[in-house]
Structure formats: structure tokens, C-alpha cells
Amino acid sequence: MLPLSPPLNVSVVIPIYNEEANVAELVARVGTAMLRTGKTFELICVDDGSRDGSAAALEAIAAERPWLKPLYLIRNYGQSAALQAGFDAAQGEIIVTLDGDLQNEPDDIPELLKILDERPEVDVISGWRKERQDRTVSRKLPSAAANAVISSVTGVKLHDYGCALKLYRADVIRGLRLYGELHRFIPALAAEVGANIIEVPVRHHARTRGESKYGIDRTFRVLLDLLWIKFLMRFLHRPLQAFGGVGLALGAIGLLILAWLTYEKLALGAEIGGRPLLLLGVLLALIGVQLVATGLMGELLTRIYHEPQGRPQYLLRRQPRKGS
């Protein structure tokens, strides 16, 4: 029987889309930084359906570097899907993410790994581009506004949700599934299952090669996903409280309207058949019943989601936090 290989310490996951000009330097710099740590590692570059020579460049580089493990998506699915593919393939105990445009600094990774080693109570380290090298009006100001809104809605206070340089303990990240633009909200999703998150300033560089893939339309997609995150964090395990509360309120108003009209009809002899108030009362009562029923169905779906596949609603901490 062959001996089991020791587990990998670190998996570095990088989505790649039309970064042919940056791929060779990116792989070299990440490799140099990781070899300096003395940890076993793999570099998973996920080519997200690039239309330039990024895939071919990765294939050629991987032939000379056994720790580089490229993945090639059949088309451009977006950053969340690319990250999910990398997370699914990652075998390391710690997962590191960064962008493929060399605006993040690979040499920051060893220091962040050191922090994670020294603080076992920390589950996620989120980078903070404190001195961001981007245009102020088109990038920095909208980003600052978005970070303030996301922090307010999710309750997870971070200066820079958009920084791709992040470190996760694998047991935190592997239970998450990313859709749409949810990669931006991974810290909030991790916090929902009890992860301890800290934010650390990291270096940031201006893009020197290639073109940015971010546009203003991305802002609207992020806002829509933020609505889902708010529901997910507050009501995923108690949907009846989300729909049932509104349903009971509307149903109660509808029943009060109908009770008043019944009183007018029976006690005062008033004609109520043609009154808009009657239609409103019936409509509110029916909507209330439907919302309560939706909440009950949500409760059943929540149990179907967790129980057949044994998905927990929580994570166990490796050791008590200091001071507890």
C-alpha cells in the first residue's frame, strides 16, 4: 500500500481572463513568494474562457512548474464561477486568492500567512488596499461608497470588500457556493457561519499591462446580489419569519377591513358590494395567506437543503478565542 502524501499547506487560487501579458510574471512572482515561506503549495490558475493566449501560456509554464495546476473553463463564466472552480480543486489547508493583473502584490502573501499561523483564532484575512493605485472618480470613490453600503447591510465592517487578496482557512471556504457576483461578499458569507475575520493593509499597484475587466454595469449586479446576501444572512435558517411576519401583518389589516365592512353591512345596513375597500380587504387577506404559506415552504426547503447532505449551519472553532 502506497503511503499517503502529506496534505498541502496552501492553495493559491487566481482567476485569469485575457491576461496573456501578465501570466508569466504573475506565476513567477507567486512561486518566488511561496517558495520563500517553506510551505508546500499549489498554484491554481483558472482560465475563465480567455480569448487571447492566456490558456496557452499557462499550459507552457505548467510543463516546467509542477506546482502550477491550471484549470480551463470552456467559456467566460465570470469571476465567481472561476473562483468556485478553484476552490473545488484546491487541496490546501489554507486558500489564498488574488487577481491576475499584478495589481495585488504576491510578496504580501508570506506575511499574511505568518499572521494566520500566529493567530489560530482567525479564519479569514481580508486585504485592504489602503493606498489604492486607481483612478479616484471612476474607481476609488464608487468603491468607497459600495464598501460603506455593503458593510452597513451585512454588518461585517471592512474598508475594502473588493480587494482580491484574501486568505481563508479551507474549512471555512469549502462550504460556500458562489453565484453571480457573490465572490465580493465571501467575508460576509463566512461571517454568517461564525468565521472570525480581520482586515490587514496590503500593497496595491497600478495596472501596467492589459485592460481592466470592470465596468459601471458591475455596480448594478453587485447591488442585486447584496439584496440576496441580506436575506441569506438574516433569514436563511428562518424564512417563516421573513415571509410570515409580513404575511401576518397584511392579513391582519385585510381581516380588520373585512370585519369593519361586515359590521357596516349587518349593523348599519350599508351597501358594501361595490366599495373598493372590500376588494382591498380581500386582496390583503389573500396575500397574507400566500406569504405565510411561502414562509412554511421555505422552512421545508431549508431542512431539505441542510439535512440530506449533512450541511451544518455552523462551524466548530479549532480552539477558544483568547480571553474566552
The whole domain housing 291 covers 239-306
In a structure prediction context, what are the per-residue pLDDT tens digits for the chain, which is 324 residues long? 445 566 799 999 999 999 999 999 999 999 999 999 999 999 999 999 999 999 999 999 999 999 999 999 999 988 889 999 999 999 999 999 999 989 999 999 999 999 999 999 999 999 998 888 777 676 777 778 888 888 888 888 898 988 999 999 998 888 788 877 788 888 888 888 788 999 999 998 887 776 665 555 566 667 777 777 777 777 766 788 878 889 999 999 999 999 999 988 888 888 887 888 999 999 999 999 999 999 888 888 877 765 665 656 555 665 555 544
Same domain, 243 and 229: no
Looking at the 3D structure of the chain, how many domains does it have? 2
The pTM is what? 0.75
CA-based end-to-end distance of the chain: 44
pLDDT 10s digits, 49-78? 999 999 999 999 999 999 999 999 999 988
pLDDT of residue 322: 53
Domain membership flag for residue 154:
yes
Give the end of a domain, one of 200, 235, 270: 235
C-alpha cell at 115: 499572521
Same domain, 91 and 181: yes
Domain membership flag for residue 195:
yes
Same domain, 175 and 280: no
Domain membership flag for residue 322:
no
pLDDT of residue 1: 47
pLDDT of residue 147: 81
Closest CA to 281 of 307, 258, 308, 312: 258
Same domain, 175 and 247: no
pLDDT of residue 313: 58
Same domain, 85 and 195: yes
Same domain, 208 and 193: yes
In three state form, how does the secondary structure of 116-167 look? HHHCCCCCEEEEECCCCCCCHHHHHHHHHHHHHHHHHHHCCCCCCCCCCCEE
Count, in order, helices (H) and strands (E) of the chain.
10, 7
Domain membership flag for residue 267:
yes
CATH number of domain containing 218? 3.90.550.10
pLDDT of residue 316: 60
Give the end of a domain, one of 235, 264, 291: 235
Closest CA to 106 of 24, 202, 18, 201: 202
pLDDT of residue 64: 93
Same domain, 175 and 49: yes
Domain membership flag for residue 265:
yes
Closest CA to 61 of 88, 34, 80, 43: 43
Same domain, 17 and 109: yes
Note the residue count of the chain.
Answer: 324
Same domain, 174 and 270: no
Same domain, 229 and 269: no
Same domain, 248 and 231: no
Distances (CA, A) of 309 to 192, 302, 315: 19, 12, 16
Domain membership flag for residue 313:
no
pLDDT cut 70: percent of the chain above it: 85
Same domain, 222 and 275: no
